[in-house]
Structure 1
Amino acid sequence: MPLDRTARAAAAQFSRSRREIPEATVWVDADATGLVEARRELERATGERFGITALVARFVVAGLRRHPSLNASFDAERSELVLHGAINLGAATQTARGLMVPVVHGAEAMSLRALRDALAERAAQAKAGAFPPAALTGGTFTLNNYGALGVDGSAAIINHPEAAMLGIGRFVERAWVVDGALAVRTVTELTLSFDHRVCDGADAAAFLTFVASCIERPVSVLAEL
């Protein structure tokens, strides 16, 4: 069965990423009960809907400001690390035409509401196959909510020439220790794949644990927004 143009481009991109990027992966389980409760309160207060992806995306933007090496690219010809001033956030989206990564440009300047709307617009464009010319280019970091597919984790392929990708696993109720006692909590797994040329494991882990702490205690990130 021959591949169409979109599938051929994706296959070439996957192959290049695996061939050129020496990637490593770190992951952590996070108690997302606080995020679920904060989301309910936010929706009650505003009368609007806010998806988990949009909320985590805003935490990611705050984390990339703290750890700019993950919002970067590696220039192999010059042996240089290229740090990007703008955060152009890609959102992996499954469509009838296959996996696509539409990009929200300038996410660092957006409020939560603006980022939510931009992500929703890009997702709608991906499913309809109607993109503006720049919608699939210029990404500097990718967020992948593969929990929507019913899985907990994945060693994802980084979207070349980006330096990292964060994956969100499904939200499930699990036994969790809270203040020394077992409790039922909503838990998710966060997985970060990163280019080991652009940062070491310590910086990657610091970014990942920052995002996890935002999920566990959303009020802690208010000063970053």
Structure 2
Amino acid sequence: MQAIRGSQEGRILYLGLALIGALLVVVLFFLVIDPPVARTLVFAFFAHSMGGRAAGIGLCIATDYGRIFTIAYNFYIELALVFVSYASFVLTLKHYINFKYLSIAVKNAEKKAHKHEKIISRFGWAGLFIFVMVPFPLTGPVLGSFMGYLIKMKMRSIFSAVFSGTLAAIVMWTYFFSYLDKGLHIFKYVFAVIIAFVVIFSFKSLKGWFTKEIQD
């Protein structure tokens, strides 16, 4: 534990956990004074946790939160998740952390990251930025941070590319969903169905990610 605390990744892990802890305090506060707000905050967090960046953003828009709040809150979530995931990934690879299910997830993530490694290596920072920003399956900030580490990018470059791409994607999704919300009166109901589908599908995928190694 002392070795983890003294490492750069350990400090990043604690920062990510502190961000999540601060969010938990806010959620508990709103749970007392305004439960619907607490519910939205929690659902958006879990949507991001399961890889549903667009779902988390759309949920905030569908529940009538402003664009500024939507962008800021969803970016905050991604900051926390990337810090915790990146640090856990690196610390597991370095054998500072050795938990069965986390080790399986790290091996699976490493295999997925290696599939895109050549492309990212070729374009460097710009390639990682685009990978994080584009809304394709199995892309996003968490996997992007893993790839940055595997191709031996400096940590500062990894986080600047990952968070810049993430912020750009969040802004685009926010304005897209805001436009749909104004022009499509049944947007909230359609989006509720999409959210349910994404959560069910993502939960099954995430469960397999931690319990069974992907075959090459």
Higher RCO (CA 8 Å, separation ≥ 6 residues): 1
- Compare the two structures and name the one with the higher helix fraction: 2
- Normalization by structure 1: what TM-score? 0.30
- Normalization by structure 2: what TM-score? 0.31
- Compare the two structures and name the one with the higher strand fraction: 1
